[in-house]
Each structure stands twice: as structure tokens, then as C-alpha cells.
């Protein structure tokens, strides 16, 4: 097997390569003056099984991924395994207004391979849109392992909303006290958010979610934790989307540290999913 590193997942590709001790294929990426994307695989990989690693954080990332897959077809490779660490269209999985497409269905249907892996996809319903065999991997336990290596004070792991509660609970509850933020609607325009059960006074808080994008729910949770007497607050996520000034706003709100995996390469990416990916691939070959 050889690894084809997508332009958005270059460092992760190297980490997986090192773990599996398999080579990375030379590939060229460029953009034409009119904005068109171009890639070219620079090695003869006919008959080789390949692992394509490419997060979809932008439209360009999607185009490059589709081009790589087509180039592999033209080169008559063996098995094509596609790892999409971050699938950026997963939040567009249903129709909210008349006339909208289901964008996640459109994008997922374009990606063809012998096997596709995603990581903590935002909505598992999206998995049904793929036309190829697909498996979603859970990186939350890697974040919990990271917490274990720190010296926090009587930590509580908190999910910022009920939507993420089950995933966070399953990863963390065997090791730490767990809570989630409960929303109570007071009126049509007023919502109260509060911890569901635990007393957090004097305790370190780890807010954990699958992704941090604008940081709205994390900010609300951090504010409430402070008001309830929490000590240091940390924010951990699988996917550090972190649009615009989100990271600055999180720090300004008193969050001591933001830590993420490397599904998207950011300054917060201190936990690699490479060990999880390599263990999964070892079961296939």
C-alpha cells in the first residue's frame, strides 16, 4: 500500500505513513490562473493499493479529492481506500427551507472508492448518502487519553449540548464525572442553559464536542461554568473548524487551552488520529 496525501491533510498523511512504514506518493497540486484546480500523480502506482487522505474543509479540497480518485482510476491502482478526516458538508444533511438541496447527499454521492472512512461525522445520517462502503471512526477516546496525561484538578467532562452528550459520555464516563448542558425554554424568545446535575465549584472543566466552528455553544458553556464556580476551563474537539476569530474569543472568555485532533491542521492540533487510522488499516491487510 501507498499513501496519497491530499493538499489539506499533508501532515496527517506523513504521520500515518510513519506509523505504517509505507511510502507517500509524489503528487503535484496547482491552481490555474482562472482558478481551476489541477493535480498529477508523479509515480507509477499501477496495481498498488492506495490510501487517499484528504479532509474537505473547502470546495477546493473536494475538487482535489475527486481529481485524485479519478487519477487513481486512470492509473489502474488496486484497492482505493479514501480517508476523509473532516467531511465539511455534513451539517447540510436535511432541507430547512423549500428549494434547498441536501448538499451532504450531493457531495457524498460523488465520492467513489472500495472503502471510505470518515471521522466523527457531524451527522451519521450522511453515511447513508455514500454509494461506496463507509465507516465512521470515533476519535473522542483519543481526546480522553490526552486528558489522562494531564494533571487537572478533579476534572468534569462536559458536553455543550444534548446533541453531543451520548458520544462524549461513551468516551469519558468510565474515567471522569460527566455532565451536559441542558437547555430550558422559558418563553418563545428566552432560553436558559445550565449544567444538568453536577456541582462544578472548584473543579477543572473539560468541554468536549465533535467540532468547534463559531464556538457559540462552547462560549455559553464556559460562561455558565465560571458562574457556577469552576476552576480552569479547557475546550477539546475532534474537528477544529475555528472560523474567523473564534480562537481569540474562546481565550478571551477565560478558556485556558483549546486542544483538538489533526483532522484539520490547526495550531490547536495536539492529538493525532494517526494511531487510530493505522490500527484500523492493520485489520484490513
Q: Which residues are annotated as a binding site for ATP?
A: 34-36, 91-92
3-class state of residue 75 by DSSP: coil
3-class state of residue 268 by DSSP: coil
Annotated binding site for Mg(2+), which residues? 122, 161
- Confirm if 176 and 141 have CB atoms less than 8 A apart: no
Annotated binding site for D-ribose 5-phosphate, which residues? 185, 209, 213-217
Buried b (16+ CB within 10 A) or exposed e, 109-140: eebebebbbbbbbbeeebbebbeeebebbebb
Please report how the helices 165-172 and 140-148 are oriented relative to each other, as an axis angle in degrees rounded to 10.
50
Given CA atoms 117, 56, 18, 51 in this order, what sign does their dihedral have? Answer: positive
**CB 163: neighbour CB atoms within 10 A?**
14
Annotated binding site, which residues? 34-36, 91-92, 122, 161, 185, 209, 213-217
Q: Looking at the annotation, which residues are catalytic?
A: 183
Amino acid at each position: 500500500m501507498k499513501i496519497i496525501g491530499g493538499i489539506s491533510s499533508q501532515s496527517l498523511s506523513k504521520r500515518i505513513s510513519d506509523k505504517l512504514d509505507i511510502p507517500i506518493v509524489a503528487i503535484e497540486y496547482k491552481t490555474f490562473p482562472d482558478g481551476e484546480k489541477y493535480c498529477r500523480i508523479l509515480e507509477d502506482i499501477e496495481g498498488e493499493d492506495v490510501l487517499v487522505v484528504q479532509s474537505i474543509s473547502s470546495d477546493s479540497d473536494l475538487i482535489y479529492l475527486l481529481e485524485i480518485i479519478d487519477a487513481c482510476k486512470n492509473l489502474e491502482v488496486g484497492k482505493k481506500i479514501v480517508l476523509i478526516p473532516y467531511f465539511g458538508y455534513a451539517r447540510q444533511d436535511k432541507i430547512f427551507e423549500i428549494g434547498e438541496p441536501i448538499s451532504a447527499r450531493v457531495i457524498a454521492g460523488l465520492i467513489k472508492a472500495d472503502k471510505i472512512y470518515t471521522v466523527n461525522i457531524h451527522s451519521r445520517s450522511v453515511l447513508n448518502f455514500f454509494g461506496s462502503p463507509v465507516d465512521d471512526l470515533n476519535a473522542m477516546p483519543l481526546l480522553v487519553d490526552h486528558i489522562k496525561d494531564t494533571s487537572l484538578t478533579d476534572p468534569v467532562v462536559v458536553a455543550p449540548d444534548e446533541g453531543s452528550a451520548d458520544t462524549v459520555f461513551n468516551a469519558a464516563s468510565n474515567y471522569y464525572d460527566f455532565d451536559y448542558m441542558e437547555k430550558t425554554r422559558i418563553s418563545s424568545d428566552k432560553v436558559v442553559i445550565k449544567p444538568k446535575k453536577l456541582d462544578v465549584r472548584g473543579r477543572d472543566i473539560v468541554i468536549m464536542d465533535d467540532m468547534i466552528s463559531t464556538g457559540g455553544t462552547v462560549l455559553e458553556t464556559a460562561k455558565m461554568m465560571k458562574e457556577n464556580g469552576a476552576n480552569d476551563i479547557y475546550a477539546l474537539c475532534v474537528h477544529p473548524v475555528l472560523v474567523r476569530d473564534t480562537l481569540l474569543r474562546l481565550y478571551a472568555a477565560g478558556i485556558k487551552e483549546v486542544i483538538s485532533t489533526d483532522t484539520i491542521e490547526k495550531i490547536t492540533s495536539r492529538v493525532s488520529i494517526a494511531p487510530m487510522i493505522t490500527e484500523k488499516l492493520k485489520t484490513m491487510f
